[in-house]
Amino acid sequence: MARNMVAGSMVMDRPTTRERLNAHAFEFSRLDGRGSIRLSAFKGRPLLVVNTASACGYTPQYAELQSLWSLLRHRGLVVLAVPSNDFGGQEPGGPAEIAQFCTTQYGVDFPVTAKQTVIGANAHPFFRWAVSSVGEAGWPRWNFQKYLVAPDGRLAEIWPSPVRPLADGVIERIQVLINQAGL
């Protein structure tokens, strides 16, 4: 997939033959342990996947993720938090602690997965797919890296941790995908 850097993000162009799968091929275990979240359930809708942690300097981005979800979910956006302890041990809690933290501190009501490994050979397949799609830039560099998946399942954009979920460029890019999907 060709890629261009724009204002701290990675904009994806058309897919190449290297991409055998799209994001809709993956699923995550639910935080509560009751089944899985199949990304195929979100076909036709933009999806923002974010690796998260409860004890990170970027953790206040949960509030903006919740605001973004509240603002655009009625237009089709799905926000999916993927807790991980891979960076600085900043997500040490178990499922109950993570759920309580997200709910009480930030009022999160968007989907949250079970804690995952997001880097290296044991990374969740979604993150390995991101790397296979765009190269090493697909690995999260820290907590709160954001992956925008287009309604057709291709990786549309990656934003690094410092880019806030309510940044104009993020909202504009999501709205473009919503409009292209006719939502």
Q: How far apart are CA 174 and CA 63, in angstroms?
A: 18
3-13+21-180: CATH topology is Glutaredoxin (3.40.30)
51 within 8 A of 82, measured Cβ to Cβ: yes
Tens digits of residue pLDDT in 26-40: 999 999 999 999 999
Looking at per-residue pLDDT, the higher value among 31 and 2 belongs to 31
Q: Which residue type occupies 109?
A: D
153 touches 44 (CB < 8 A): no
Q: Where are the domains of the chain?
A: 3-13+21-180
Instruction: Report the pLDDT averaged over residues 93-98.
Output: 96
- pLDDT grade for 20, boundaries at 50, 70 and 90: low
Q: Which two tokens stand for residue 50?
A: 């974010």
pLDDT digits (tens, 9 = 90+) for 130-151: 999 999 999 999 999 999 999 9
CA–CA distances in Å: residue 124 to residues 3, 44, 68, 141, 145: 23, 23, 25, 15, 15
User: Active-site positions?
Assistant: 56
β-strand pairing of 78-83 with 47-52? parallel
User: Taking 80 as the threshold, does the pLDDT of residue 10 lie above it?
Assistant: no
- C-alpha dihedral over 98, 100, 103, 106, to 10 degrees? -70
Best CA proximity match to 44, nearest among 15, 75, 5, 72: 75
Residue 107, both tokens: 């009022």
Read off the tokens for 106.
Answer: 């930030």
